[in-house]
Amino acid sequence: MLQGKVLVAQGGGPTAVINQSLVGVVLEARKFPQVEFVYGAAHGVSGIVNEDFLNLTQETSFNLEMVANTPSSALGSTRDKPDADYCREIFKVLKAHGIAYFFYIGGNDSSDTVRIVSEEARNAGYPLRCIHIPKTIDNDLVGNDHTPGFPSAARFVAQAFAGANLDNAALKGIYLAVVMGRHAGFLTAASALGRKFPDDGPHLIYLPERIFDTERFLTDVKLNYEKHGRCVIAVSEGIHDASGTSIITSLSAEVERDAHGNVQLSGTGALADLLCSEIKAKLGIKRVRGDTLGYLQRSFLGCVSDVDQREARQVGENAVQFAMTGSVDGSVAIKRTGDYSVKYELVSLESVAGKTRVMEDELISASGTDVTPAFHDYLRPLLGSNFPEVHRLSANKVAKILAQ
């Protein structure tokens, strides 16, 4: 077992439970006598190269527990994607501070950083244990049944669509909402779990795993509108046409530029607005409303899956266990073992780094605009306890008098 300091950092987009993993690492690492100090790097890898470290060795356990229940990255995060040179800088700092254990909580970019740093250390003959801890609301890490952060975001999306469906049933029309996930449609697909009654929306779900055809989309919407008198639609931000061009780009091509000469692409409401314009113009439906779930789906305070909380804690704890008792670097992965149970394994960094998982075919319906029962079976246990339920009146109609 290596003697030295522990360094933990958080990278990429925050999640509702990423601090559970951080706290799992800190509390677990402090139990081991060979650990001299536990440092946290501010704002991920950028804090490492700037030596911006917090000393978490004496942070009270009570406050850590409070922080664990707080969403977003308590250490701060970064969008930096280190190349080989950047990773050499990281390694230089780790060495200078006598870091023996490096834990990086993040998505597939972060796992690639860990992979390169691990290689640097090996090449330099410096004893360093590097462990990647999974986190991403996109659920796009290969080798994992699912990733911490995804279940809570999925719960938010399901609750958002369950509510939006009720709103749309009360005031009929078209409701469309854009969900995060550029390459993987898991989060958009989670909208299906907001349904309860057979005619509940979302009636259509558009995933980046399937080619988006605007004409077919309009036909789908029209059919559902005729059937239900309304239509609720979930759309992934990553939808694209057959050539791979994202729909926001292809639709925006028809749209003019703003006062500063830029196409209105960056504004996060743009895709929903463009699709709503298409529906209004081509189908002539008046009440068309578009939302973009935006940052709420990963940051909203007070929507969390308890299963996700528990697992995020455990990937942090297990990362330390693997580091202290094992002799290889790697990435902690969640494997499903039963219905519902999981185990944690250490997989190679190479198997995760820089790879993107997308939704498996058996999770998407033949129509391409819905999910299968297998997806329901997959996601339901992840959403956690006390998912709010909706109910309807069951009363009979009263006979008309005047209209007879």
Q: Among all residues, which ones are annotated catalytic?
A: 138
Would you count residue 245 as binding a copy of itself (CB under 8 A)? no
CA dihedral (313, 319, 320, 323) in degrees, to 10, reads 180
3-state secondary structure of 267: coil
What are the Cα distances from residue 46, in Å, to 76, 77, 78, 124? Answer: 10, 8, 7, 22
3-state secondary structure of 355: coil
Would you count residue 330 as binding a copy of itself (CB under 8 A)? no
Q: What minimum distance in Å lies between the beta carbon of 203 and a copy of itself?
A: 16
Nearest to 21 by CA among 261, 391, 400, 319: 319
- By CB under 8 A, which span of 58-66, 116-124, 326-334, 375-383 interacts with a copy of itself? 58-66
What are the Cα distances from residue 253, in Å, to 93, 222, 257, 264, 272? Answer: 46, 24, 9, 10, 15
* One residue of 4, 8, 9, 13 binding a copy of itself per CB under 8 A: 13
Write the interaction track for a copy of itself spanning residues 359-388; mark x where CB under 8 A is met and - where it is not. ----------------------------xx
> Is the Cβ of residue 2 or residue 166 nearer to a copy of itself in the bound state?
166
* One residue of 86, 175, 225, 322 binding a copy of itself per CB under 8 A: 175
Nearest to 12 by CA among 75, 102, 65, 93: 75
Would you count residue 73 as binding a copy of itself (CB under 8 A)? yes
Write the interaction track for a copy of itself spanning residues 94-133; mark x where CB under 8 A is met and - where it is not. --xx------------------------------------
Q: Are 141 and 107 in contact (CB under 8 A)?
A: yes
Would you count residue 194 as binding a copy of itself (CB under 8 A)? yes
- By CB under 8 A, which span of 60-68, 133-141, 309-317, 353-361 interacts with a copy of itself? 60-68
Helices (H), 53-206: 61-68, 84-96, 108-124, 150-170, 186-189
Would you count residue 211 as binding a copy of itself (CB under 8 A)? no
Q: Are 155 and 387 in contact (CB under 8 A)?
A: yes
Q: What minimum distance in Å lies between the beta carbon of 289 and a copy of itself?
A: 6
* One residue of 240, 298, 313, 357 binding a copy of itself per CB under 8 A: 298
Would you count residue 390 as binding a copy of itself (CB under 8 A)? yes
Distance separating alpha carbons of residues 12 and 73, to the nearest angstrom: 9
3-state secondary structure of 99: strand
> Is the Cβ of residue 36 or residue 362 nearer to a copy of itself in the bound state?
36
Would you count residue 74 as binding a copy of itself (CB under 8 A)? yes
Distance linking the first and last C-alpha atoms of the chain: 87
* One residue of 119, 291, 345, 370 binding a copy of itself per CB under 8 A: 291
202: cis peptide before it, omega within 30°? Answer: yes
> Is the Cβ of residue 198 or residue 284 nearer to a copy of itself in the bound state?
284
Write the interaction track for a copy of itself spanning residues 144-163; mark x where CB under 8 A is met and - where it is not. ---------------xx-xx
* One residue of 299, 321, 365, 372 binding a copy of itself per CB under 8 A: 299
